[in-house]
């Protein structure tokens, strides 16, 4: 078996499902509302490399890198990407992944890299690897390969060298998860990341997909909540004129309707519902969490949770 449903995974499975995959499995087991999905395990990538004889070729490419020369790193990255892209997907792996995709019953999925060295004590890989949203059955296998290849972007090659991980075995699992077509999305920090007040949680929200907050494209609303009292301590509403939405050809930017541009994104009742979910996650893990969430048809979904590394 080269894939596992979130229901079959827990936080103990970082070695096979990567940080992201293990966390989504753990939250699914804990009955947190996570969109359904599965993980293409790191063993699938290892098997792909072995069967296509790419392991030696990739090693040979990496041995040639001159880390003082940006062009050398970029050329190596392109060469490895081409090797992975051009190699044939083993038929049995292809079949297993597509069967799992069909079980989800989703038109669009998010495909995300989940490195098996992610958030380890040696290094934090979060943000180093790629994600592909609005993936269809037709583009799924190609995007899985792109996630594998993202282990060798120029940034990732530099990063591994800089952290002294060149000899460390780093593999990559791939998370395949039902896309949430969010009307509102955002991030929650279960401890205030600026004041470091453990009694306060901060929620940031924007219209449309949350990518615009993560990428710093829009200024989000921010709501500060006292965790024990369940009191709304502070509300900052930001005007938002553009938002990112899902369309059949991928994400597209549209104008926020004029009557919504200056409105609060979540009402107090919705904020408290989200606070309860985030507190359950923090309690479950036992440490402050940085949580990505999305709301579709008035239902909240958690798409990612990880420790707040800056505290």
**pLDDT digits 0-9 by tens, 267-307:** 999 999 999 999 999 999 999 999 999 999 999 999 988 88
**Chain mean position to CA 247:** 20
Query: Same structural domain for residues 95 and 223?
Result: no
239 or 132, higher pLDDT: 239
Query: Same structural domain for residues 128 and 257?
Result: no
Q: The tokens of 307 are what?
A: 């420790």
Cβ neighbours around 45 below 10 Å, total: 23
User: Residue 278 has what pLDDT?
Assistant: 97
34 or 310, higher pLDDT: 34
Query: Same structural domain for residues 27 and 122?
Result: yes
- Given pLDDT bands bounded at 50, 70 and 90, which one contains residue 117? low
**Quick one: CA torsion of 150, 153, 155, 158, rounded to 10 degrees?**
110
Q: Taking 50 as the threshold, does the pLDDT of residue 122 lie above it?
A: no
Give the residue numbers spanning the domain of 209: 184-307
Calpha distance 247→269 (Å, rounded): 30
Query: Same structural domain for residues 129 and 84?
Result: yes
Query: What CATH number does the domain containing 74 carry?
Result: 3.30.1490.20
Domain finish residue from 153, 178, 203: 178
Domain finish residue from 178, 210, 227: 178
In this prediction, what percent of the chain has a pLDDT beyond 70?
Answer: 95
- Stated length of the chain: 311
184 or 119, higher pLDDT: 184
- CB-count burial class (<10 Å; 0-12, 13-18, 19+) for 308: middle
User: Residue 121 has what pLDDT?
Assistant: 42
pTM (2 decimals)? 0.85
Calpha distance 287→301 (Å, rounded): 20
- Given pLDDT bands bounded at 50, 70 and 90, which one contains residue 239? very high
Indicate the DSSP class of residue 243.
E
**pLDDT digits 0-9 by tens, 178-216:** 999 899 999 999 999 899 999 999 999 999 999 899 889
Query: Same structural domain for residues 271 and 222?
Result: yes
Q: Taking 90 as the threshold, does the pLDDT of residue 311 lie above it?
A: no
Domain finish residue from 135, 162, 178: 178
- Given pLDDT bands bounded at 50, 70 and 90, which one contains residue 118? very low
**What letters, b where the CB count within 10 A reaches 16 and e where it falls short, cover 267-299?**
eeebbebbbebbbbbbebbeebbbbbbbbeeee
Which runs of E-coded beta strand occur in the chain? 3-5, 37-40, 109-115, 131-135, 172-178, 184-189, 200-207, 221-226, 231-236, 242-247, 250-255, 289-296, 299-307
Query: Same structural domain for residues 39 and 148?
Result: yes
Query: Same structural domain for residues 114 and 205?
Result: no
Q: Taking 80 as the threshold, does the pLDDT of residue 24 lie above it?
A: yes
- Given pLDDT bands bounded at 50, 70 and 90, which one contains residue 128? low
From the list 287, 293, 292, 294, the residue with the least C-alpha distance to 308 is: 287
Query: Same structural domain for residues 49 and 162?
Result: yes
What percentage of the chain's residues is helix, strand, coil (to nearest 5)?
40, 25, 35
Calpha distance 57→7 (Å, rounded): 36
Q: Taking 50 as the threshold, does the pLDDT of residue 123 lie above it?
A: no
Average pLDDT (146-153) is 92
Rounded to 5°, the CA angle 6-247-251 comes to 75
Query: Same structural domain for residues 25 and 114?
Result: yes
Query: Same structural domain for residues 137 and 279?
Result: no
User: Residue 277 has what pLDDT?
Assistant: 97
From the list 131, 102, 269, 92, the residue with the least C-alpha distance to 209 is: 131
User: Going by C-beta distance under 8 Å and a sequence separation of 6 or more, which residues neighbour residue 226?
Assistant: 199, 200, 233
Q: Taking 80 as the threshold, does the pLDDT of residue 165 lie above it?
A: no
Query: Same structural domain for residues 20 and 165?
Result: yes
Q: Taking 80 as the threshold, does the pLDDT of residue 101 lie above it?
A: yes
Q: Taking 90 as the threshold, does the pLDDT of residue 161 lie above it?
A: no
Query: What CATH number does the domain containing 295 carry?
Result: 3.30.470.20
Number of domains present in the structure of the chain: 2
User: Residue 119 has what pLDDT?
Assistant: 45
Query: Same structural domain for residues 57 and 174?
Result: yes
Average pLDDT (78-105) is 96
């Amino acid at each position: 078996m080269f894939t596992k449903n979130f229901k079959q995974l827990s936080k103990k499975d970082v070695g096979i499902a990567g940080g992201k995959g293990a966390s989504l499995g753990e939250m699914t087991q804990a009955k947190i509302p996570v969109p359904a999905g599965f993980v293409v395990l790191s063993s699938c990538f290892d098997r792909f490399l072995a069967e296509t004889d790419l392991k030696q070729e990739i090693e040979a490419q990496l041995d040639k890198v001159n880390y003082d020369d940006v062009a050398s790193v970029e050329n190596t990255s392109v060469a490895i990407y081409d090797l992975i892209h051009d190699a044939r997907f083993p038929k049995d792996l292809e079949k297993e992944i597509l069967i799992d995709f069909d079980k989800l019953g989703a038109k669009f999925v998010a495909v995300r890299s989940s490195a098996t060295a992610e958030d380890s004590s040696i290094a934090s890989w979060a943000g180093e690897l790629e994600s592909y949203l609005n993936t269809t059955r037709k583009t799924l296998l190609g995007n899985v390969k792109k996630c594998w290849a993202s282990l060798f972007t120029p940034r990732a090659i530099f990063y591994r060298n800089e952290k002294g991980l060149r000899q460390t075995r780093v593999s990559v699992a791939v998370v395949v998860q039902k896309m949430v077509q969010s009307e509102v999305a955002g991030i929650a920090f279960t401890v205030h990341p600026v004041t470091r007040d453990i009694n306060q949680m901060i929620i940031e929200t924007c219209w449309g997909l949350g990518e615009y907050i993560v990428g710093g494209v829009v200024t989000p609303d921010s709501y500060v909540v006292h965790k024990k009292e369940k009191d709304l301590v502070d509300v900052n509403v930001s005007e938002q004129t553009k938002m990112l939405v899902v369309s059949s050809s991928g994400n597209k930017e549209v104008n926020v309707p004029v009557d919504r541009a200056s409105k609060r994104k979540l009402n107090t009742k919705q904020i408290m519902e989200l606070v309860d979910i985030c507190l359950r996650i923090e309690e479950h893990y036992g440490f402050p969490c940085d949580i990505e969430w999305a709301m579709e048809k008035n239902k909240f979904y958690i798409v990612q949770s990880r420790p707040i590394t800056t505290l």
